[in-house]
Structure 1
Amino acid sequence: MIKFQAFHGVITSINEFLIDETGEGAGCYKLISVQDRYGTLVNFVVAPSTYFVDHEMVAVGDMVTGFYDANAATPFIFPPQFRAIVMARDTQFRNVKVDYFNSELISSDNTLKLNIAPYTQILLENGQSFTRNPANRNLIVTYGAVTMSIPAQTTPYKIIVMC
């Protein structure tokens, strides 16, 4: 099971990343370096399959959050290097949560409960409509205001179901 972990900071560089010595896939992979406010640096390997929230383009200087699998094997190097599963550029009035949501639509870390409204878009990663219940799945959730309860509750703008 994927255990999503987030790292938030400013993009300090974007470079091509070669995955093999043959050059096959050249230009398809990127290495995005992100530094948080404490000076900690993380490199994200961005593959063609990495999902960018709202398909937004990112650039050096942008504030972003990278989501990765905390249970995945990683090379023992500095700075740490993680395979990005989801990347989200900071946007005013929009929060992003990537996690497993149970049958009650509560995140695995018990910090967010989703209250789906008729206007909440529920989509697949390819932009097509998802017509089933999104519970018990890994979800990318974009939302605004939350309640001050535990867990916090929100009515999301959009839910992306990660199949």
Structure 2
Amino acid sequence: MEYGNLVSAVGVVMNFTGSGCCSQMVTLRVQEGIVNIVIDQETEVIDCRQLRPGMRVAAFYDKTLPVSMIYPPQYRAVIIAVLGKNEQIDLKYFDSDLIAGDHSLHLNQARSTEIETVNGQNFFCDIGNRYLLVYYTVTTRSIPPQTTPRKIVVLC
């Protein structure tokens, strides 16, 4: 999987519709309107959380795949993460100094930061030079902005 091609749709789960035995469609209310997200057996749901209406989530999909010209837009989710109140999420490549490849974020790792793999296992190696899914709430006003994440999911 080329994680650099993933972009997110962040919104609130409105409802679910079945689209097959092993897949379902989730309707999200995002800032721009409505988006339909297909969840199937290949979708990684971080922490195996059961999605419910009213939950705020980030659905990451591959921006290089063709999309039907329909409204509302419909994307196939690769990763879905449930977000807490006022929480933000970023999926980026971070270098050895934990600076995002696009210099949009600098991570300050703390003892309280949860670090795990996609399947929920603890990660004990260096997190630099990897794609990371970062959960955080506040950043500094520096350039690049700095944050101490609540949680980091390492995408191996």
**Class of the TM-score when normalised by the shorter of the 2 chains:** 0.7 to 0.9
Match of residue 105 from structure 2: 112
Match of residue 55 from structure 2: 62
Match of residue 23 from structure 1: none
Give the drift of 1:123: 0.9
Normalising by structure 1, we get a TM-score of 0.80
Match of residue 85 from structure 2: 92
Asked if the contact 1:15/1:30 (under 8 Å) is kept, the reply is yes
The AA in structure 1 aligned to 2:65 is A
In 2, distance between residues paired with 1:93 and 1:10?
13
In 2, distance between residues paired with 1:47 and 1:133?
31
Match of residue 151 from structure 2: 158
Q: 1:138 aligns with which of 117, 131, 135?
A: 131
Using the aligned pairs only, state the percent identity.
34
Unaligned runs of 5+ in 1: 19-25
After the TM superposition, list the runs of 4 or more consecutive aligned residues in structure 1 that deviate by more than 4 angstroms: none
The AA in structure 2 aligned to 1:142 is Y
Give the drift of 1:93: 4.7
Match of residue 45 from structure 1: 38
The AA in structure 1 aligned to 2:30 is D
Match of residue 34 from structure 1: 28
In 1, distance between residues paired with 2:132 and 2:113?
13
Residue-pair matches, total: 154
Asked if the contact 2:114/2:152 (under 8 Å) is kept, the reply is yes
Deviations along 1:92-147, one digit per CA (max 9) or x if unpaired, are 25322222223332223322111112332221111112122122222111123211
Asked if the contact 2:46/2:119 (under 8 Å) is kept, the reply is no
Asked if the contact 2:47/2:120 (under 8 Å) is kept, the reply is no
Normalising by structure 2, we get a TM-score of 0.83
Match of residue 22 from structure 1: none
The AA in structure 2 aligned to 1:7 is A
Unaligned runs of 5+ in 2: none
In 2, distance between residues paired with 1:158 and 1:63?
17
In 2, distance between residues paired with 1:54 and 1:142?
13
Q: 1:122 aligns with which of 115, 120, 123?
A: 115
Q: Pairwise CA RMSD of aligned residues? A: 2.1
